[in-house]
Every structure is written in C-alpha cells, then in structure tokens.
Amino acid sequence: MIPKSLIVIGAGPGGYVAALEAASRGLAVTLIEKAELGGTCMNRGCIPSKYLLAKSKQVVDALKLADSGITLRLEPIDMTQLWAHKDEILRTLRQREEQALKAARVKIIQGQARFISPHQMEVLRPDGTPEKIEADAILLATGSSIQMPPLFPSHPAIVNSTTIFELPYLPTHLVVIGGGYIGCEMACAFQGLGSRVTLIEKEPRLLPTQPEFEAAGALLSRSFEKRGMTLWTGTTVIAVKPLEDKKIQLSCSNGETVEANAVLVAIGRSPNVKDLALEKAGLALDNKRLTVSAQMQTSVPHIYAIGDLTSPLPLAHTASWEAEVAVSAMLGEKETLAYSTIPRCIYTWPEAAFVGLSEEEARKTGHTPRIDRFHFAGNSKAMVEGESEGFWVSITDADSHKILGGLIAGPHATELIHLVSLAIKTGLKTADIEKTIFAHPSLAESFRDVALRALAAGKKQLR
Ligand SMILES: Cc1cc2nc3c(=O)[nH]c(=O)nc-3n(C[C@H](O)[C@H](O)[C@H](O)COP(=O)(O)OP(=O)(O)OC[C@H]3O[C@@H](n4cnc5c(N)ncnc54)[C@H](O)[C@@H]3O)c2cc1C
C-alpha cells in the first residue's frame, strides 16, 4: 500500500532530504527533531569542522606568503569571535532549511520521539508535554552519537567532536586521540592556528578503518610530522589525570607522559537507537545495529531507516541519498544506492579523497585493475599555489580501460574527486580523458596526465 502520511524522525541531512522529497511527491510529512534542524552535519559536524579548517588554512596560506617576500604578522586569535562567526553561518543555514521545509508544507515538531506502537509515536516536547502522532509510514534518521570511553573524566579541557567547536581558548598544546578523519582534520586545523599538536592513534597508521586511504594516510603522516606534529601510532592512552583547569596529564602505552591544555577524544560514533523504544514497533537490533534492506526498509515493512543510524558509510551525502532511495521505495519504486559511487573526502592539507573501487575491490569484483599515478610535483598550478605535495592515483580496468576508481591526495582533492565520480558514472575510458581539453595551468589537468601515463604504458606493452 502506498502511504499517504509519513513521520520522519531526525532533521539531519538524511531526515531533512527525506521530508522534502516525500512532501514534493505528495505525502503529508511530519518531521520531528529534538535539537536543531540540520542535525550533526550542520551543527556539530561537517559545517563547523569545514569552517574551522577553512579559517586555519587561510592563516597557514597567509603566513606562507613569507616564502615570496610578503610577511604578515599573526595577532593572537580571538576564539570567541571565531566561534561567533561560525554560529552566524549556522544560523543562516538553519533558517534556509526551515524556510524550505515550510515552503514544502512539512510540519515540524520539536521534541524527542519514541515508538508506542508500530504506527504511533510519542513526542516529548521541550516543556515536557507528550504528544501522540501516527502515520502510514515512518522513517528513522536519528543519526549517531559520540563515544566517550570511561577513562576520560568530565573536565573542561577534555573535549569531544562537539565541544571542540566551543573551546574558549586556543590550546598551546592539544592532544588529539583518534587518527580517523575527524581526528586528522581537527589536528590539522589546530596546528594551522598555532597549537602544538600530538596525535595518538591505537592502530599502526592514520585513517585505519579506511583501507582505500592507506597511501593518503601515509602522506598525511609525513606531512603532519614535517610540519612539527607529534604522531604516536600503535599507541593507547592508559591513564588520564587532570592537573588544573587547562592542564591534563596523559600516560601512554609507548611509555610517554604528556601534558596538554586540551584533549580531544575522537574515537568513533555509535548509532542513536536506544531512546526510540524500537521493541514497541516490533523492531529488534542485530549486533547493536538496526539492519535495513537495499531500499532502506527495516524488518517492519512500513518503517525505514537511513543515515548514520544504519549506514555502512556514515557521511552526510550518504544519508541524503539513502533518503531518496527510502522515499522511492515507499512509493513502490526500486532504487538502490551503489556505495562505491559515494565520494569520501578528508579536508586536511594535503586534502584526500576517494571514489569508486580500490585496487583490492576491483580485483574482488572480477576486474584486472591497472594502477597509474601522477604526482602533483609535476603540475605547474600546484607549484604556483605552493602545494605540490601529493598524487592522483587512477584505478582502471586493464581490459576495458574504463575508469573504476580514483584516490587523490593533494590540493583541492575534495573538489577534483568529482571528475572521477563523473567519469565512473558515465563509464568513461582512459582515452576519453586523454581526448578532453583541460585548461592549463589547472590542477584538473592532472587527470589527463594520469590518463596519458596509462595510455603510454599500454602502448609500450603492445610494442
Ligand atoms: C566533526 C564531524 C565532522 C564531519 N564531517 C563530515 C564531512 O565533512 N562530510 C560528511 O559527509 N560527513 C561528515 N560528518 C558526518 C556527518 O555529520 C553525518 O554522516 C551526518 O550528519 C549523518 O546524517 P543523519 O541525517 O544520518 O544524522 P544526523 O545528522 O546525526 O541527524 C540526526 C538528527 O536526529 C535527531 N534525533 C536523534 N534522536 C531523536 C529522537 N528520538 N527524536 C527526535 N530527534 C532525534 C538528532 O538531534 C539529530 O539532529 C562529520 C561528523 C562529525 C562529527
């Protein structure tokens, strides 16, 4: 049965897109959000982190001008103003979302939702008033929350990936625990603003949960260390001792003891399932997770779940695409999402981005992969921009010459990766890239350079 009404729980990039899409396709939509519109992404994730990285990069670039004889002096950073400007941007973005939802006639309710039966939910309003609502279909987009191990006491100088964006001072020494993308981005941003940074990761390398980024992680390690960051991989924190308001002592498994003015714990997130009373809807968890079909449908056919709550690739744009798939499925269509086509971006410098199949994935899916690499050291635009560190790796099918994937580590990688996305989506071959005219000088012409390498190597093989 095609539903006429839909309740969406959570107004992050998953729930927001689902609400708009469903409303535009004729469903009566109620969107329930317990905190702010925009979810983690807008308020505590993608946008605040990219804001901080952008400001830090601007500082780094300004100071680097000294290499060209233009010397600027950095005054102490006013953290209150830095965060106030971020908050202003977030306010504007939230207002835009609210306007779009209202224009689409989505009913927005502020409050915390939980199931009382498979079709009914209770929403607890901020003033404590409960409200009962029901709909033909329900979409869960409640996202994920920070994990804080019990080793770390509650202390003003011990922050997580939310409270870091309110830290009222620039730490002289910041210790970042966790070398995933959030830890790497924050370590990079604070180092750029002038903090001494120590980054601690328990696995032997940075970005350990993302094998597709192994080469990029190695480049980041070298680059961070060259800029003076202390990296301790294969290391865990074994004791945490607050000394003063802005002083924490950490003892580590590598035998080192370190004092920091702030400690960021960025060791992962877990799905927000526990407050939903899923059992009342007849839903059960599988290994602490809610499982869904390729159409985002749970084991209860009219209940769907998307985004960080369930996704194998917890990113904002994954959540938004899963929203489209779920709404289509409600309307009887059968869309699916190919997770390999989702670009994954890390906004450090050098930046890193990946899309498509890695060499290993290509092999596993029956391809004979061909790997070609071009270094930004050979790109003149990268040279004039003073960012010639990094490379463009192209993964192609050795038989059909189709582009299968790409890993870019270097300047503007998070923008350039979309060229690879388009190439994969449209089934382009190496020769198509070679025949495309790229402007000179441009960073994008590295795509053609890497294609030329593949073609030249192919010709050599034929001879
Ligand atoms: C520091 C940081 C940086 C990041 N950077 C990036 C990036 O650059 N690019 C990227 O793609 N991703 C990034 N992410 C990940 C991204 O934020 C998430 O993948 C994305 O927000 C997931 O969207 P979602 O809609 O599933 O959930 P969320 O955005 O988490 O939204 C879920 C919403 O549901 C609400 N909610 C939860 N339970 C209930 C309930 N019971 N009742 C009512 N409301 C409820 C929450 O308040 C929240 O607003 C970052 C994350 C962090 C923490």
How far, in Å, is the centroid of ligand 1 from the Cα of 65? 37
How far, in Å, is the centroid of ligand 1 from the Cα of 157? 24
Instruction: State in Å, rounded, how far the first CA of the chain is from the last one.
Output: 62
Any atom of ligand 1 within 6 Å of the Cβ of 35: yes
Any atom of ligand 1 within 6 Å of the Cβ of 109: no
- The per-residue pLDDT for 200 is 98
Any atom of ligand 1 within 6 Å of the Cβ of 146: no
284-296 pLDDT, tens digit each: 998 888 999 999 9
Where do the domains of the chain lie?
5-146+270-339, 158-267, 350-462
| C-alpha pair distances (Å), 218 with each of 188, 197, 222, 223 | 15, 18, 6, 9
| Contact call for residues 136 and 302 (beta carbons, < 8 A) | yes
Q: How far apart are CA 109 and CA 122, in angstroms?
A: 11
Any atom of ligand 1 within 6 Å of the Cβ of 283: no
Do the domains 5-146+270-339 and 350-462 sit in the same CATH topology, yes or no?
no
Any atom of ligand 1 within 6 Å of the Cβ of 47: no
Q: How far apart are CA 369 and CA 359, in angstroms?
A: 6
299-347 pLDDT, tens digit each: 999 999 999 999 999 999 999 999 999 999 999 998 999 999 999 999 9
How far, in Å, is the centroid of ligand 1 from the Cα of 242? 30
Which atom of ligand 1 sits closest to the CA of residue 307? 26
Residue from 21, 46, 145 whose mutation best tests the ligand 1 pocket (most atoms within 8 A of CB):
46
When the candidates are 3.40.50.620, 3.60.21.10, 1.10.10.10, 3.50.50.60, the CATH number that belongs to 5-146+270-339 is 3.50.50.60
Closest to 232 measured CA to CA, from 194, 177, 193: 177
Which atom of ligand 1 sits closest to the CA of residue 13? 25
Any atom of ligand 1 within 6 Å of the Cβ of 14: yes
Any atom of ligand 1 within 6 Å of the Cβ of 38: no
| Contact call for residues 239 and 153 (beta carbons, < 8 A) | no
- CATH number given to 158-267: 3.50.50.60
Q: How far apart are CA 224 and CA 198, in angstroms?
A: 10
Check pLDDT > 60 for residue 62: yes
Which atom of ligand 1 sits closest to the CA of residue 323? 25
360-376 pLDDT, tens digit each: 999 999 999 999 999 99
Any atom of ligand 1 within 6 Å of the Cβ of 256: no
| 1 band by pLDDT with thresholds 50, 70 and 90 | confident
- The per-residue pLDDT for 461 is 60
| C-alpha pair distances (Å), 106 with each of 1, 16, 173, 183 | 22, 10, 46, 36
| Contact call for residues 152 and 163 (beta carbons, < 8 A) | no
How far, in Å, is the centroid of ligand 1 from the Cα of 107? 20
CB atoms within 10 A of CB 24: 13
Any atom of ligand 1 within 6 Å of the Cβ of 266: no
Mean per-residue pLDDT, 343-354: 98
How far, in Å, is the centroid of ligand 1 from the Cα of 40? 3
Any atom of ligand 1 within 6 Å of the Cβ of 46: yes
How far, in Å, is the centroid of ligand 1 from the Cα of 362? 30
Active site residue 173: no
Check pLDDT > 90 for residue 354: yes
How far, in Å, is the centroid of ligand 1 from the Cα of 126? 20
Ligand 1: residue whose CA is nearest its atom 27: 143
Check pLDDT > 90 for residue 185: yes
- The per-residue pLDDT for 249 is 98
Which atom of ligand 1 sits closest to the CA of residue 269? 53
The DSSP annotation for 196-265 comes to EEEEEESSSSSSTT-GGGHHHHHHHHHHHHHTT-EEEES--EEEEEEEETTEEEEEETTS-EEEESEEEE
The DSSP annotation for 410-428 comes to ETTHHHHHHHHHHHHHTT-
Residue from 8, 16, 40 whose mutation best tests the ligand 1 pocket (most atoms within 8 A of CB):
40
141-159 pLDDT, tens digit each: 999 999 899 999 999 999 9
Residue from 16, 37, 41 whose mutation best tests the ligand 1 pocket (most atoms within 8 A of CB):
41
- The per-residue pLDDT for 460 is 62
- The per-residue pLDDT for 287 is 84
Which atom of ligand 1 sits closest to the CA of residue 306? 26
The DSSP annotation for 247-293 comes to EEEEEETTS-EEEESEEEE---EEE--TTS-GGGGT---BTTB----
Mean per-residue pLDDT, 397-419: 97
Check pLDDT > 60 for residue 41: yes
- Which stretch of 158-172, 216-230, 280-294, 427-441 has the lowest confidence by average pLDDT? 280-294
Ligand 1: residue whose CA is nearest its atom 50: 45
Q: Is the dihedral of CA 331, 35, 164, 156 positive or negative?
A: negative
Ligand 1: residue whose CA is nearest its atom 8: 46
Q: Which of 119, 302, 412, 440 is catalytic?
A: 440
- The per-residue pLDDT for 457 is 80
CATH architecture of residue range(s) 350-462: 2-Layer Sandwich (3.30)
Any atom of ligand 1 within 6 Å of the Cβ of 260: no
Which atom of ligand 1 sits closest to the CA of residue 320? 25
76-135 pLDDT, tens digit each: 999 999 999 999 999 999 999 999 999 999 999 999 999 999 999 999 999 999 999 999
